[in-house]
Amino acid sequence: MTLYVYFKFIVAEYPRALEIIRAMQDKLLGEYAGLRCNLLKRPNADDEGRETWMETYELITSEQVGFLNRLSELALELKLPQPRRNEIFISL
């Protein structure tokens, strides 16, 4: 499973977003063996000054539902920008 989580926000409103997301990903790496994470962003802000960021997670496990729940739980607990949109892709 490859999970793409994207969200838009004004960076000045969440000055520690990068630090918090990296720490969250480190925590998840410790909880899920074989997990691979990345963090991306679009090169330009939109007309409202919002940046689009995307977290990616590659996970080969039967714990897909548990992982999705854990990720959502951490994002809310850490007060990351909302709403966050999840899209899952699987290999053919």
Segment 7-50, tens digit of pLDDT = 999 999 999 999 999 999 999 999 998 999 999 999 999 999 99
Strands (E) in 1-92, as ranges, are 2-9, 36-41, 51-58, 85-89
Which domain CATH number covers 36?
Answer: 3.30.70.600
pLDDT tens-digit readout, 44-67: 999 999 999 999 999 987 788 899
76 — phi, psi (to 5°)?
-70, -45
Range(s) of the domain holding residue 69: 2-89
Which pTM was predicted? Answer: 0.92
Phi and psi, residue 59, nearest 5° = -145, 125
Domain total for the chain? 1
Q: How far apart are CA 68 and CA 50, in angstroms?
A: 25
